[in-house]
Every structure is written in structure tokens, then in C-alpha cells.
């Protein structure tokens, strides 16, 4: 009887090693958290060595994920979304977007930026970008009631995302500003598992790119959508709104040295 009870305890412990929480964000190299710990435990229990169960998604965890993905026959990219999580035995709350969502975003942004719009008042076509954030910003006491100019690079990106059915909040939950502020995009993307600091991944068409002009302040300065990038190049081609605070949308070339990070919506 005692042996039976001990065996039952061991079995229960083994089962607990395979338990996964509901996935609420994409997991990839460079992020950390309890969900990463759970991932590491399950990978190790299944024979895929992810190293220490420390909650930090490093290279060892990525290699283990890729080995698992190869074995079960899903896309081998080292990132953990709904498909991989469910193959591991978990459940996911992540909304599955179409595989070409970034292509749709890049195509729409490219056409929209080609209009080369300027904001010259509430009747300007560019007001389509600014208007959605006026009321949320007013409620936060960050803008006046009347439709005045504000820097709209992030508003342009939000407009393009929403037009291709990517869900963008007016303001990230728990943050002090709306998505009209570039810093809000980094905060939101990190919460969603979409944020990649510069150097982690190779830029692709349809990625959202965030810039830091290195003006000796702590804030991010600008945001756009990538049209193209050649591996090894020192520049990147973008679709942007309010380029260089010049109140104009268009297609531009930016120096990679000013890139702070990428937002890759999956």
C-alpha cells in the first residue's frame, strides 16, 4: 500500500511537469516569464533539452523548441504560438491570424503612404489617421478637445493595422498613454510577445519598425512599416506617416543604426 502511494505521488509529480497554462502571448527568444518556465519544464520532460528551468527564453530553449517542432511536423521557427503550444498539450487564447497578415499590412501601408498626405486641418484626408486617438487622448488630458495637430507616425501605423483587421487598442492596458505614442507600441508588443530588440531577428516586409534618433533621452522617436530589407544592408525601406516630424506620409529609406527594435505581429 505504501509503495502504491509513493508510486502515485511520483506519477502526480510527472503529470505536473507536463501541465501548461493557457497561452496568452507568443513566446520567443529574448522574453521571460512563468509561461516560459512551463514551456521549459514540458520540453525537458519530453526529452528536448531546454537547459535550466529559469523562465528565460534563450538559445537553448529555442533549439529545443525547433527540435520539438521538427518532430511533430509543424513550422520550424523556434517561436511558440498556438500551434506549437497545443502540440505540447496546452490550450491557447491567441487569435490565429492568417499567415500572410504582414504581407497584407505591408501592401496596404505601401498604397496608403504613396498618397503623400499632409495634415492641414480637420478636413484633411490625413485626419483619418489622427481622429481615432483624439477622444482617448482628450480623456487622458493629453490633448485639447479641438482637432489640433499632433505627431502622427504611430497613428498612421495603427490605421494601417486596423484596416487589415489587426486588433490595435486605443491604449495598452496598464499604460499611461495611447497608441499614438511610439513608446506605447513597445509596451503593447512586449505584452503580446511581438517585440524583438534590434539584432534578434532579420527585418522582413510587414514588420513594424521602431526608431530611436539617439537624442540623449529615454524615449523612442518614430515608427513605420517595413517595405523591404536586404540582408547585410545598412538601410531599410519603409512606409511612414509624419516622416521626420515633417507632417507627411510616404516611402522612405532609413538608416539601420537608428532601429531600436521590431514588432512582428504573428
Which cell numbers in the block locate residue 25? 502571448
Q: What is the pLDDT of residues 178-222, one digit of tens each?
A: 999 999 999 999 999 999 999 999 999 999 999 999 887 778 999
Percentage of the residues of the chain whose pLDDT score is greater than 70: 92
Provide the pLDDT for residue 99.
54
Q: What is the pLDDT of residues 16-69, one digit of tens each?
A: 567 899 999 989 988 899 999 999 999 999 999 999 999 999 999 999 999 999
Provide the pLDDT for residue 47.
96
Q: Spell out the CATH class of 2-87.
A: mainly alpha
For residue 77, the surrounding DSSP H or E stretch is none
**Cα(258)–Cα(66) distance, integer angstroms:** 31
Which cell numbers in the block locate residue 264? 512582428
Check: CB of residue 179 under 8 Å from CB of residue 203.
no
3-class SS of residue 252: strand
Provide the pLDDT for residue 8.
44
Domain ranges (residues) in the chain? 2-87, 101-263
Q: What is the pLDDT of residues 73-116, one digit of tens each?
A: 988 889 899 999 999 999 999 876 655 899 999 999 999 999 99
**Cα(261)–Cα(90) distance, integer angstroms:** 30
Provide the pLDDT for residue 10.
43
Instruction: Write down the residue that cell numbers 490565429 correspond to.
Output: 96
**Cα(116)–Cα(248) distance, integer angstroms:** 6
Buried b (16+ CB within 10 A) or exposed e, 42-72: bbbebebebeebebbbbebbbbbbbbbbeee
Contacting residues for 74 by C-beta, under 8 A, at least 6 apart: 83, 84, 87
Would you say residue 254 has pLDDT above 80?
Answer: yes
Check: CB of residue 35 under 8 Å from CB of residue 21.
yes
**Cα(221)–Cα(214) distance, integer angstroms:** 9
Which cell numbers in the block locate residue 9? 505521488
Provide the pLDDT for residue 1.
53
Q: What mean pLDDT do residues 230-241 have? A: 96
Q: What mean pLDDT do residues 249-262 have? A: 98
Amino acid at each position: 500500500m505504501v509503495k502504491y502511494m509513493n508510486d502515485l505521488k511520483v506519477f502526480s509529480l510527472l503529470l505536473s511537469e507536463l501541465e501548461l497554462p493557457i497561452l496568452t502571448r507568443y513566446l520567443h527568444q529574448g522574453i521571460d516569464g512563468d509561461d516560459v518556465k512551463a514551456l521549459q519544464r514540458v520540453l525537458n520532460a519530453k526529452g528536448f533539452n531546454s537547459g535550466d528551468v529559469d523562465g528565460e527564453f534563450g538559445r537553448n530553449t529555442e533549439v529545443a523548441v525547433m527540435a520539438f517542432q521538427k518532430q511533430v511536423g509543424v513550422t520550424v521557427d523556434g517561436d511558440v504560438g498556438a500551434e506549437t503550444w497545443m502540440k505540447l498539450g496546452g490550450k491557447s487564447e491567441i487569435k490565429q491570424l492568417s499567415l500572410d497578415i504582414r504581407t497584407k499590412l505591408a501592401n496596404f501601408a505601401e498604397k496608403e503612404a504613396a498618397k503623400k498626405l499632409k495634415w492641414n486641418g480637420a478636413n484633411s484626408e490625413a485626419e483619418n489617421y489622427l481622429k481615432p486617438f483624439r477622444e482617448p487622448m482628450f480623456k487622458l488630458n493629453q490633448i485639447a478637445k479641438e482637432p489640433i495637430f499632433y505627431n502622427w507616425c504611430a497613428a498612421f501605423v495603427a490605421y494601417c493595422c486596423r484596416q487589415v483587421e489587426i486588433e490595435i487598442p486605443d491604449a495598452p492596458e496598464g499604460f499611461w498613454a495611447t497608441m499614438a505614442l511610439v513608446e506605447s507600441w513597445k509596451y503593447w508588443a512586449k505584452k503580446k510577445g511581438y517585440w524583438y530588440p534590434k539584432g534578434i531577428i532579420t527585418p522582413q516586409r510587414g514588420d513594424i519598425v521602431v526608431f530611436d534618433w539617439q537624442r540623449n533621452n529615454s524615449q523612442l522617436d518614430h515608427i513605420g512599416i517595413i517595405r523591404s530589407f536586404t540582408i547585410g544592408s545598412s538601410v531599410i525601406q519603409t512606409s511612414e506617416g509624419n516622416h521626420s516630424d515633417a507632417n507627411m506620409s510616404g516611402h522612405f529609406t532609413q538608416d539601420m543604426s537608428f532601429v531600436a527594435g521590431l514588432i512582428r505581429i504573428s
